[in-house]
Structure 1
Amino acid sequence: MAALRGVWVSIVAFITATKMPPCHRHEEEKFFLNARGQKEALPSIWDSPTKQLSVVVPSYNEEKRLPVMMDEALNYLEKRQKHDRTFTYEVIVVDDGSEDQTSKVALKYCQKYGSDKVRVITLVQNRGKGGAVRMGVFSSRGEKILMADADGATKFPDVEKLEKGLSDLQPWPEQMAIACGSRAHLEKESIAQVRLSLSHVQQPVDV
């Protein structure tokens, strides 16, 4: 499981369970700050979707690594929207009770791209990665929901491979499906390259 941390993303094609465990929110967690710094109520996953894709980014003390991920993600999403005017998206950064400036960093992207595209949810206390993802999913507006780690380990354009897998699993819109991707094979390749490099270093050298 540790090897998969930070390297997988999953798309959930609209979650519609008949019964769902309660998700307690503090009053402050029912709102997000818009680009003008004003509070706005968060939507519910039970509302009709208004975006094609929601990207949920659970973040804990990620002020340094978050910009790398956000720059790559938004660059990809903006280019995709430029080539396909029908494509709509939102990025939801869930600050999981961070002790650094994670929310402040994320809000800069909200100011740059607007709160319709980038939203920041700041949790009152740390809920763990699963709890942060859940809060983001429950506040999403997308027909499809993508979870992406804040550390930038996952290459964002790979989402298209997940979408293809999802469409293969979900030929009819009313069906639910989940697609998961792993970059573990690249980690193995990296380990092999390191070992190869070490073997070269250890070769005897004539002086």
Structure 2
Amino acid sequence: MDFLCEILQALVALAALGLIVLLIVAHVTAGMVSLLRHEKEKYFVTSSGEKEPFPSLHDPHSRELSVVIPAYNEELRMPVMLDEAMEYLENRQKQSPSFTYEVIVVDDGSKDKTTEVALRYTRRYGADKVRVLTLVNNRGKGGAVRMGMLSSRGKVILMADADGATKFADLDKVEAGLKDLNPKPENMAISCGSRAHLEKESVAERSVFRTFLMYGFHFLVWFFCVRGIRDTQCGFKLFTREAALRTFSTLHVERWAFDVELLYIAQCLKIPIAEVAVNWTEIEGSKLVPFWSWLQMGRDLLFIRLRYFTGAWKLGSPHKTD
């Protein structure tokens, strides 16, 4: 019995030491993301080929809606999504002439013709409606969304994936979710599109291994960071301008797990969050590599919690950046 107690004590001591080492590693390796832009990232190209500076999220809004679309090597999938989005937005403007909008395509350092494809829409609809922000280096999806958000003019701002997996008309649903939150007096609220209602169907179609990874990721999200939101990863989220400024100015993670940190920040700041069921279809060509991407996200989830716990990352006030 004494021998078993000694083994148990040794294991507890080893676990405590491992936790301390992990805390130290998480704290020491917690780099701060640079919000500084390359000179080329400060401007968008007009339909006539001239360069004009992007506005700032810190400025007052001048459009009802901004749509931020992160895109990495999306020259093939993006046109379908943009055609659907522009048709919806143009029809809405015809029905309600006071409705104003902009679409910002953020090319995340693509190696294909993503920027050239997006600029066709600028030439067709004008730079007041469609703008292209081309990042010099690949930042990751979270970094691309953040740069688009910080360049937007909308009173409310939608992030939407370039693959068009979510029907753009479901904007009506997430808008209704945002209004139901009644975001006053600070006007901070987030409405998240959700695929949770489709989970049973997706499990039936997935392999056992991918299903195990999915449920494992959901558990880690719940255990370390976000509770009460069943689907943190749907790329269809609507923010009030104030909520976008507060959360994206604080965001650190720029890869796949950025949604989780974003919602973790929002819950820490007590920003109201709605989760709204949307239509979703899996589109071929995903950049997500099942095993390695999930492994990276699991690591990021652990480090998100540890870095905020140790004070390496803080929920500071947003500062204007160049």
Q: Indicate the TM-score class for this superposition, using the shorter chain for normalisation.
A: 0.7 to 0.9
1:36 matches 2:44: no
Q: Distance in 2 between matches of 1:154 and 1:182?
A: 10
- Specify every segment of 5 or more residues in structure 2 that has no aligned partner in the other structure, as ranges: 1-32, 208-322
1:91-123 per-position Cα deviation (integer Å, ceiling 9, x unaligned): 000000000000000000000000000000000
Aligned partners of 1:96 and 1:123 also within 8 Å: yes
Q: What is residue 116 of structure 1 aligned with on the other side?
A: 128
Which residue, out of 98, 103, 106, partners 2:118? 106
Q: Distance in 1 between matches of 2:35 and 2:66?
A: 19
Q: Distance in 2 between matches of 1:82 and 1:173?
A: 31
Q: Structure 1 80/123 Cα, relative in aligned 2: closer, same or farther at 3 Å?
A: same
Q: Structure 1 168/119 Cα, relative in aligned 2: closer, same or farther at 3 Å?
A: same
Q: What is residue 169 of structure 1 aligned with on the other side?
A: 181
1:124-173 per-position Cα deviation (integer Å, ceiling 9, x unaligned): 00000000000000000000000000011010010111111101112536
Which residue, out of 107, 118, 137, partners 1:95? 107
Aligned residue pairs: how many?
175
SS in 1 for 2:145: helix
Shift of 1:194: 9.3
1:147 matches 2:159: yes
Q: CA RMSD in A?
A: 1.9
Greater RCO (CA < 8 Å, at least 6 residues apart): 1
Which structure has the greater CA radius of gyration?
A: 2
Q: What is residue 126 of structure 1 aligned with on the other side?
A: 138
1:61-115 per-position Cα deviation (integer Å, ceiling 9, x unaligned): 0000000100000000111111111111000000000000000000000000000
Q: What is residue 291 of structure 2 aligned with on the other side?
A: none
Q: How do 1:44-123 and structure 2 match up within 5 A?
A: 44-123=56-135
Identity %: 65
Segments of 4+ in structure 1 off by > 2 A?
170-174, 183-195
Structure whose residues are more often strand by fraction: 1
TM-score normalised by the chain length of structure 1: 0.80
TM-score normalised by the chain length of structure 2: 0.52
SS in 1 for 2:166: coil
Q: Distance in 1 between matches of 2:146 and 2:89?
A: 22
- Specify every segment of 5 or more residues in structure 1 that has no aligned partner in the other structure, as ranges: 1-20, 196-207
Q: Distance in 2 between matches of 1:23 and 1:99?
A: 23
